[in-house]
Amino acid sequence: MALTRSELAKYPFVFDAAEEVKRLDLDISNLENPNLKTIVDRAFNRIEEALATDPPRVSYRPGDEDKEIPSFPVAIILASATNNDYIKRRYALAEAVRAYDLLQFEDEKKIVEVVKVFNWKLRIHKQPVGYRRYDFALFFTDFLRNAEVFHEDEWKLVNRIMVNGEVFLNKREAARLIQEEVRKRIEKRFSIDVRQMLPESILQRVDDLSKKYADRISRARYIPFPKEVVNEAFPPCIQIFYGSAKTGTHISHLGRFTLTSFLLNINMKPEDIVNLFRASADFNERMTKYQVEHISGDRGSRTKYRSPTCETLKTHALCPGPDELCKTIRSPLRYYAKKTRMLKR
């Protein structure tokens, strides 16, 4: 079942969309061509949408395939030309979130067609498994490749039903795994240096875009933390996680991830974090070290994770209740930055 052009506009990361771009004979060095202006304008707009929205999203514009399909690869070129990791990661995530939003309402056959670009072993499965019905069955290696970055218990393989090497998924879960695959694939395409190939007028627009969002980028990238860890500045949630870790009290998977990512970001040494978990009854030094190094970006996807936001912790019932300072911030790391400044004064 081939995808239509309107569907290629929804999911421009598939192979057929690449062929559509080739058909238009797009050339990086020729992006200032007046005939390409509407495509280039939409490409810049895609990046701006990603930078201006929370969580980041790129809009879907049905009925405008002639701009939507080619503007996707052009936007990747322009985001890459900024040489700004924040912009590149933000844009990749925004496109991936857009795919997730659209896929949840897509026909199952179309979803199977979309993931052909990934070479996934995904098939439609409508038969009940136990007492539950699922939409898809996915081979476990394809599942693990993307689920490894998720930290909720529902994504751990031991908590999934698996038969003959296949993991069963509902449509939302399949869309979430595809989102992660799309994000990673877009980020890989940022490795090429394209600035020297772009016309001067396009480069100027790229630099103007970076300047326009410079304040937002700097706020997102930089939180001034002291070199030494200040325990007195821990927010209430981290105080509980930290105390539980020291006494060996059980902490949920997301709680452990929140604590570990928080401590790494405020400059605690990885070996000290590993030692912190030694009191746990299920402590495994090799596994704990691996998990800490994965969250720090030294292993796996090489992404250094930030701790979840307050909204996420509340959603998972991990917020013990806000204090007065909590009401002025949106994440544990922001709390810590603000509290350390207050203590210093």
Q: Give a yes or no: residue 47 inside a domain.
A: yes
- Pairwise CA distance, residues 127 & 258, whole Å: 37
Q: Give a yes or no: residue 53 inside a domain.
A: yes
End-to-end CA distance of the chain: 65
Q: Are residues 69 and 92 in the same domain?
A: yes
With b for 16 or more beta-carbon neighbours within 10 A and e for fewer, the 271-286 pattern comes to eebbebbeebeeeeee
Which residue among 201, 220, 239 closes a domain?
A: 220
- pLDDT at residue 20, rounded to an integer: 64
Q: Go through the chain and tell me how many residues it has.
A: 345
Query: For every residue of the chain, which 3-state class applies, written as one string?
Result: CCCCHHHHHHCCCCHHHHHHHHHCCCCHHHCCCHHHHHHHHHHHHHHHHHHHCCCCCCCCCCCCHHHHHHHHHHHHHHHHHCCCHHHHHHHHHHHHHHHHHHHCCCCHHHHHHHHHHHCCCEEECCCEECCEECCEEEEHHHHHHHHCCCCCHHHCHHHCCEECCEEEECHHHHHHHHHHHHHHHHHHHHHCCCHHHCCHHHHHHHHHHHHHCHHHHHHHHCCCCCCCCCHHHCCHHHHHHHHHHHHCCCCCHHHHHHHHHHHHHCCCCHHHHHHHHHHCCCCCHHHHHHHHHHHHCCCCCCCCCCCCCHHHHHHCCCCCCCCCCHHHCCCHHHHHHHHHHHHHC
Q: Are residues 203 and 244 in the same domain?
A: no
- Pairwise CA distance, residues 231 & 34, whole Å: 58
Distance of CA 83 to the CA centre of its chain: 19
- pTM of the entire predicted model: 0.67
The tens-digit pLDDT sequence of the chain (345 residues) is 588 999 999 999 987 666 766 677 677 888 888 989 999 999 999 999 999 887 788 999 998 999 999 999 999 999 999 988 889 988 998 999 999 999 999 999 999 999 999 999 999 998 888 888 999 999 999 999 888 767 667 888 888 999 999 999 999 999 999 999 999 899 888 867 788 889 999 999 999 999 998 877 765 554 556 678 899 999 999 999 999 998 888 888 899 999 999 999 998 999 999 999 987 877 888 889 989 998 988 876 667 788 888 988 988 889 998 898 998 888 999 999 989 988 887
For residue 267, the tally of other CB atoms under 10 A from its CB is: 11
Q: Are residues 258 and 293 in the same domain?
A: yes
Residue whose C-alpha is closest to residue 209's, from 49, 26, 95: 49
CB within 8 Å of 38: residues ≥ 6 apart:
67
Q: Are residues 156 and 284 in the same domain?
A: no
Q: Are residues 155 and 215 in the same domain?
A: no
Q: Are residues 246 and 296 in the same domain?
A: yes
- Pairwise CA distance, residues 77 & 95, whole Å: 14
Q: Give a yes or no: residue 226 inside a domain.
A: no
- pLDDT at residue 280, rounded to an integer: 80
CB distance 185 to 99 below 8 Å? no
Q: Are residues 80 and 156 in the same domain?
A: no
Q: Are residues 340 and 251 in the same domain?
A: yes
Q: Are residues 64 and 201 in the same domain?
A: yes
Domain count, the chain: 3
- pLDDT at residue 72, rounded to an integer: 95
CB distance 50 to 91 below 8 Å? yes
Domain around 33: 5-102+191-220
- Pairwise CA distance, residues 41 & 47, whole Å: 10
Q: Give a yes or no: residue 73 inside a domain.
A: yes
Residue whose C-alpha is closest to residue 54's, from 191, 181, 220: 220
Q: Give a yes or no: residue 225 inside a domain.
A: no
Q: Are residues 196 and 71 in the same domain?
A: yes
Phi then psi dihedrals of residue 132, to 5 deg: -120, 155
Beta bridge partners of 91: none
- pLDDT at residue 247, rounded to an integer: 85
Q: Are residues 177 and 256 in the same domain?
A: no
Q: Give a yes or no: residue 81 inside a domain.
A: yes
Q: Are residues 77 and 152 in the same domain?
A: no
Residue whose C-alpha is closest to residue 103's, from 239, 7, 210: 7
Q: Give a yes or no: residue 98 inside a domain.
A: yes
Which residue among 160, 183, 206 closes a domain?
A: 183
Q: Give a yes or no: residue 118 inside a domain.
A: yes
